[in-house]
């Protein structure tokens, strides 16, 4: 599935989109940590269908998934 | 942007800095709304912070636009529920490189009386900073950069 990356996380990954297959949010986190250098030491949130998700949940593969570094608006 | 009904998604993003003349024009456009007695405006300006002796010269803002606009729609709806007397609410945020001293953010609420406008703007500014996926790359005078965070 297509994972959208933003800000410092896109910079670390060297890309704004990654293709990662994962059956759940927790497994996605582990696969992202393996793919993005330093992600395990960064603060970030995962958004599923444009809402930040704090708990594990299954992923069907059709969701819009994004990895978000800390917000800095305003 | 005038007052909105529920569920309507409005674009708040503008390319580059917010022109002070645009803010003046926005105020002027309300002259015909004679039910308004109070305008409250918050403006965010890019600050020249110093990081280990090196000055910030600009911030490059990016956003996850779709999520930001959905979050903003929810904030707008909650604000109109909490302060029903608000006549209109205008929010703009700059994207791209905005130099220090320039304006990057505006929240402008109008109401018949000052209390609702003041309270709403303070609350909306805090909610936008906390909830909207907007990212800031602080560009330093030595061409290095840091990532800004609101927390």
pLDDT in tens, A26-43: 999 999 999 999 999 999
Residue B53, domain member (yes or no) = yes
Q: What residues in A contact B134, CB-CB < 8 Å?
A: 71-74
Residue B4, domain member (yes or no) = no
**ipTM surpassing 0.85:** yes
pLDDT in the model for residue B123: 98
Contact B135 A4 (CB under 8 A): no
Other beta carbons less than 10 A from residue B50's beta carbon:
11
Mean pLDDT of B3-8: 52
pLDDT in tens, B116-141: 999 999 999 999 999 999 999 999 99
Instruction: Output the domain CATH number for residue B119.
Output: 3.90.1170.40
Contact A73 B61 (CB under 8 A): yes
Residue B7, domain member (yes or no) = no
- Min Cα–Cα distance to chain A from B52, Å: 20
Q: What residues in B contact A63, CB-CB < 8 Å?
A: none
Of B129, B133, B147, the CB nearest to A74: B129
For chain A, how many structural domains are there in total? Answer: 1
For chain B, how many structural domains are there in total? Answer: 1
User: Do B59 and B45 form a contact (C-beta atoms < 8 A)?
Assistant: no
pLDDT in the model for residue A71: 98
pLDDT in tens, B64-118: 999 999 999 999 999 999 999 999 999 999 999 999 999 999 999 999 999 999 9
Whole domain around residue A21: which residue ranges?
2-68
- Min Cα–Cα distance to chain A from B28, Å: 24
Pairs across A and B, CB distance < 8 A: 77
Instruction: Output the domain CATH number for residue A57.
Output: 3.10.20.30
User: Binning pLDDT at 50, 70 and 90, where does residue B7 land?
Assistant: low
- Phi, psi of B121, deg, nearest 5: -65, -45
CA diameter of chain B:
51
Residue A73, domain member (yes or no) = no
- Name residues whose C-beta falls within 8 Å of residue A35's C-beta, 6 or more positions apart in sequence: A13, A18, A20
- Min Cα–Cα distance to chain B from A65, Å: 11
Whole domain around residue B86: which residue ranges?
13-148
Residue B51, domain member (yes or no) = yes
Contact A72 B136 (CB under 8 A): yes
Helix (H) or strand (E) holding B104: strand B103-111
Which DSSP string do the residues of B16-81 spell out, in sequence order?
A: SPBPHHHHHHHHHGGGG-TT--EEEEEEEE----EETTEEEEEEEEEE-HHHHHHHHHHHHHHHHH
In this model, does residue B5 exceed pLDDT 50? no
Stronger pLDDT, A44 or B52, i.e. the higher one: A44
Residue B70, domain member (yes or no) = yes
- Searching chain A, which residue's CA lies closest to the CA of residue B124? A74
Residue A74, domain member (yes or no) = no
Chain B residues interacting with chain A (CB cutoff of 8 angstroms): 44, 59, 61-64, 66-68, 70-71, 93, 104-105, 125, 128-137, 147-151
Mean pLDDT of A7-17: 97
Structure tokens at A18: 């990654």
CA diameter of chain A:
35
User: Binning pLDDT at 50, 70 and 90, where does residue A13 land?
Assistant: very high
Contact A66 B129 (CB under 8 A): no
Q: What residues in A contact B131, CB-CB < 8 Å?
A: 71
């Amino acid at each position: 599935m297509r994972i959208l990356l933003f800000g410092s996380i896109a910079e670390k990954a060297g890309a704004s989109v990654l293709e990662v297959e994962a059956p759940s949010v927790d497994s996605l986190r582990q696969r992202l940590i393996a793919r993005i250098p330093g992600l395990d030491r960064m603060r970030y949130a995962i958004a599923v269908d444009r809402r930040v998700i704090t708990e594990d949940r299954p992923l069907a593969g059709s969701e819009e998934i994004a990895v978000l570094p800390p917000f800095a608006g305003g | 942007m005038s007052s909105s009904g529920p569920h309507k998604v409005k674009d708040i993003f503008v390319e580059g800095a917010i022109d002070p003349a645009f803010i003046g024009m926005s105020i002027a456009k309300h002259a015909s709304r004679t039910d308004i007695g109070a305008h409250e405006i918050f403006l965010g300006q890019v600050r020249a912070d110093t990081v280990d002796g090196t000055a910030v010269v600009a911030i490059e803002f990016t956003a996850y636009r779709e999520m930001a606009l959905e979050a903003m729609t929810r904030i707008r709806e909650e604000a109109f529920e909490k302060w029903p007397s608000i006549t209109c609410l205008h929010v703009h945020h700059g994207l791209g490189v905005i130099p220090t001293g320039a304006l990057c953010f505006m929240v402008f609420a109008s109401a018949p009386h000052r209390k609702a406008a003041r309270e709403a703007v303070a609350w909306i500014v805090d909610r936008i900073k906390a909830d909207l996926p907007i990212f800031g790359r602080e560009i330093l005078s030595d061409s290095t950069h840091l990532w800004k965070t609101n927390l």
